[in-house]
Copies of this chain bind each other. A is one copy, B any other.
């Protein structure tokens, strides 16, 4: 064990030395940049058109309009897109396409998702979520609303495009297709087959991805998946990420009386569900933010030597981030953000009981609800983690049901919690950082970056990469995030910084064009990752 670690360390030092930073991709990057500069307006126009379609996965008609548009975009590029459907077409289809390269020694799948999180229009500033709006800078810094620039007007790369999914993750779709355009237009010789896979229900927890992927095992055969999603490092440095946290959602509702009661006539006699919920939630975490649900951290696989070192080498950014976000004290008792995202989390997405503000009334509410999300790390199983949560709720004295309680149950049980595990959910994934394809991607991204690339064992966010790995013979998945970190992902006023889109196009193109490695680590000339499939 120790010897292996030592060997790997030597290898890593060797591989990360300048000898591997070849000039080939730099040439590709330059021609891609030229191409992009000449086509910025067209790229932006296509992006705006895609962002104009509402894309919540559960809205069947809308989400299919997105899939149809993306298929059109691919068709216009000479690709022959296919909608990969589930049985009975219940779920949003994945949009698939491929570009076969004669003599290719490798097949890469480029992944992005075209669905987005729901959006509360009332909370957006100056626009609705699906009316893309260009601003001269961030809202917070007073960015002004700009008209879309005409063909002869320059585009400032510090501008931001505001819309749901600008960053998460239609920006990924557009970067991938624009990178492909650039390579074809500049006549770049490719040595990898390119496959495109655009998912349509990632934000809903990918409940049908396993079905779709396992139905199309043959079609999706590949040597690696390149995942274009998530933000670059907070410092602005590019990053390559080798894992993601798993994710699943649980809703908890607790009950008071059958009807809302006057808080004077019944207050301090009738139980208040908002207070019951507060007590229940408070029992789940201690003051330092550590989850107190028994067993919560038991299955988490500790990080290996390489992962720990990568975290140590990543820029320290916590203090800067605290200041920017107005956070007086972070959770986690002094551990850094990068350390903490390697632990499973329990987060409250929202709580509600009756009303606050102008609509609040002097009542005792009938119910109180919390929406929770559970993030998981390598070693956790999401179903087991939910079971732990349910056991904890039972231990707090609650009778747990999975639908509204009957009148008889209400009379019988002083404390009742409806706990529902939302459809979807998956485990964490982590690709070894020392696979040849891992090293090649880092090297390629580095070759088009001025600053050192940040390598991370895991992203704090989640992607259904475990589903891809589990259903496709353990194919490695490597995440190359494109968005600015302050993109308001999942929230109101989501945005993408234009320069991040431009950079993203260059990075994706460089990876599409990366040469097979002739390195000591891979003497056969064939990517070792292939052996995993």
Contacts and interface: CB of A to CB of B under 8 A. Distances in A.
A265 interface: yes
A354 B347 contact: no
Given A263-B347, A265-B461, A268-B331, A258 B360 contact: no
Q: What range describes how many residues of A lie at the interface?
A: 35 or more
Contacts of A120: 355, 359
Contact of A371 (B285, B348, B357): B357
B268 A247 contact: no
A326 B405 CA distance: 10
A275 B285 contact: yes
Contact of A337 (B269, B327, B416, B491): B269
A269 B371 contact: no
B325 A269 contact: no
Contact of A491 (B279, B281, B363, B407): B363
A277 interface: yes
A414 B461 contact: no
A271 interface: yes
Nearest to A56: B358
A26 interface: no
Interface in A245-274: 245, 247, 249, 251, 255-272, 274
A203 B341 CA distance: 48
B415 A328 contact: yes
Secondary structure at the A interface, as helix, strand, loop or mixed, is mixed
Contacts of A264: 245, 247, 341, 375, 459-462
Contacts of A266: 337, 460
A364 B289 CA distance: 13
A39 interface: no
A362 interface: yes
A397 to B, nearest CB: 9
A345 B274 contact: no
Contact of A347 (B278, B331, B364): B364
A52 to B, nearest CB: 20
A266 B359 CA distance: 32
A307 interface: no
Interface string A235-252: 000000000010101010
A532 interface: no
Contacts of A282: 275, 278-279, 281-282
A147 B268 CA distance: 39
Contact of A492 (B260, B325, B345): B260
A356 interface: yes
A260 B489 CA distance: 8
A189 B137 CA distance: 79
B118 A325 contact: no
Contacts of A489: 262, 265
A363 B326 contact: no
Contact of A369 (B259, B279, B284, B357): B357
Contacts of A329: 271, 414
B325 A261 contact: yes
B347 A371 contact: no
Given A259-B491, A322-B411, A361-B490, A267 B347 contact: yes
A31 to B, nearest CB: 33
Interface string A313-357: 000001000111111111110000100110101111111111111
A411 B325 CA distance: 9
A325 B359 contact: no
B268 A343 contact: yes
Contacts of A410: 326-328
A92 interface: no
Contacts of A413: 328
Given A285-B275, A328-B413, A354 B360 contact: no
Interface in A274-314: 274-275, 277-279, 281-282, 284-285, 287, 289, 291
A343 B337 CA distance: 47
A275 B271 contact: no
B490 A271 contact: no
Contact of A490 (B263, B277, B416): B263
- The residue in A117, A272, A348, A459 that gathers the most chain B C-beta atoms within 10 A of its C-beta is A348
A17 interface: no
Given A264-B341, A265-B459, A275-B348, 8 more contacts: A251-B360, A258-B324, A262-B460, A267-B345, A275-B285, A279-B281, A347-B362, A351-B368
29 contacts: A117-B361, A203-B362, A257-B326, A257-B327, A262-B461, A264-B341, A265-B341, A267-B345, A267-B375, A268-B332, A268-B375, A269-B341, A274-B370, A278-B282, A279-B282, A281-B282, A322-B411, A326-B411, A327-B410, A327-B411, A328-B416, A347-B362, A349-B354, A350-B355, A351-B353, A352-B356, A352-B357, A356-B370, A360-B371
The 3 tightest CB contacts between A and B, nearest first, are: A264-B461, A260-B491, A329-B414
